[in-house]
Amino acid sequence: MKDEQVLQEVSKELEVIVNEKDHSFAKQILAEKIDQLINTDFQKLVSILYRMDVSETKLKQLLNENAGTNAALIITDLMIERQEQKIISRQQFNKKDENISDDEKW
C-alpha cells in the first residue's frame, strides 16, 4: 500500500497516470515522463522538484557520482524517496496529535 501511495503521489506531481502494480514498471513510466521533461520543459521539471522539496545538493551529487546513469532514473528515485519521507513524517505528526486532549486541540 505504501509503495502504491508513493507512486501515485509522484505520478500526480508529474501529471502522468500510473495504474501499474509492478513497482519497477511504474518507476519506468515515471522516468520516461521525467526524461521527456528534461528534453522539452526543463523549467517545469525544476519547478516540480522544488515543489516536492527534492534536495538540489543531493541531486547534483548523485548526478556527478553516476555520470553514466540515466539522469531520469536518478531523479525518479529521489522523488520517490522524498515522497516516502513526507508520508512517514505525516504519519508521525498524526500520531502526536492523537495524544493531545480535546481541550488543547484547535
Residue of 7 and 57 predicted with greater confidence: 57
C-alpha cell at 94: 498524526
Residue 100 has a pLDDT of: 61
Domain ranges of the chain: 2-88
71-98 helix and 42-52 helix, angle to the nearest 10 degrees: 30
Residue of 22 and 96 predicted with greater confidence: 22
pLDDT at 71 over 90: yes
Residue 57 has a pLDDT of: 95
CA 51 to chain centre: 10
- Give me the DSSP letters along 21-69: S-HHHHHHHHHHHHHHHHHH-HHHHHHHHHHHT--HHHHHHHHHHTTTS
pLDDT at 76 over 70: yes
Mean per-residue pLDDT for 39-57? 95
